[in-house]
Amino acid sequence: MNTQWLKMINDLKERLLHRRPFPPPLEEVGFTYGFNSHFLTRVLDYWQNKYNFKEREQFFNKFDHFITKIQGLDVHYIHVKPQVSEDVEVLPLLMMHGWPGSVREFYEVIPKLTTPQPGKKFVFEIIAPSLPGFGFSQAPVRPGFGPVEMAIVISNLMKRIGYDKYYIHGADFGHVMGSMLATFFPQNVLGFHTTTPLLLFHPLENIFTLLGTLWPSLIVEPQLQSRMYPLSEHLLRLAEESGYLHLQATKPDTVGIALTDSPAGLAAYILEKFSTWTNNAYKKSGDGNLLAKFSLTHLLDNVMVYWSTNTITTSMRTYAETLNKRFIAMRLDEIPTDVPTWGIKFKHELVFHPDCMLKLKFKNYLHSTIVEDGGHFAAMENPDILATDIFDAVDTFLQFHNHTKNPEAKERVPVNPNTAKTIYDFSVKDIYGRAVKLDKYKGFVLLIVNVASQCGLTDTNYNQLNELYEKYAKSRNLRILAFPCNQFGGQEPGTEKEIIKFTKERNIKFDIFEKIEVNGESAHPLWQFLKQTQSGSFGDFIKWNFSKFIVDKNGTPVERFGPNVNPIDLEPYLAKYW
Dist. CA 226–CA 352, nearest whole Å: 10
Residue 171, amino acid: A
Distances (CA, A) of 276 to 79, 98, 195, 242, 422: 31, 16, 17, 11, 47
Contact 477, 442 (CB under 8 A): no
3-class DSSP state of 167 = strand
- Would you call the peptide bond into 143 cis, given omega within 30 degrees of 0 as the criterion? no
Active-site choice (76, 167, 172, 441)? 172
Is 172 annotated as catalytic?
yes
Dist. CA 271–CA 100, nearest whole Å: 9
DSSP states of 286-311: TTTTGGGT--HHHHHHHHHHHHHHT-
Strand partners, 451: 484
Q: What is the DSSP letter of 43?
A: H
- Sign of the C-alpha dihedral computed for residues 229, 232, 233 and 237 taken in this order: positive
Dist. CA 447–CA 359, nearest whole Å: 27
Under 8 Å CB-to-CB from 25, ≥6 apart: which residues? 33, 36, 37, 38, 286
Distances (CA, A) of 331 to 146, 162, 201, 262: 14, 31, 7, 38
Active-site choice (175, 348, 376, 524)? 376
Dist. CA 509–CA 330, nearest whole Å: 55
DSSP states of 430-496: BTTS-EEEGGGGTT-EEEEEEE-SSSTTHHHHHHHHHHHHHHHTTTS-EEEEEEEB--STT---S-H
Find the DSSP H helices in 162-230.
Answer: 173-184, 205-214, 216-219
Active-site choice (269, 282, 306, 319)? 319
Contact 499, 541 (CB under 8 A): no
Contact 447, 549 (CB under 8 A): yes
Phi first, then psi, for residue 577 (nearest 5°) are -115, 10
Neighbours of 454 (CB within 10 A): 14
Q: How far is CA 385 from the centre of its chain?
A: 14
Dist. CA 360–CA 414, nearest whole Å: 17
Phi first, then psi, for residue 67 (nearest 5°) are -130, 130
263-276 helix and 37-49 helix, angle to the nearest 10 degrees: 120
Active site residues: 172, 319, 376
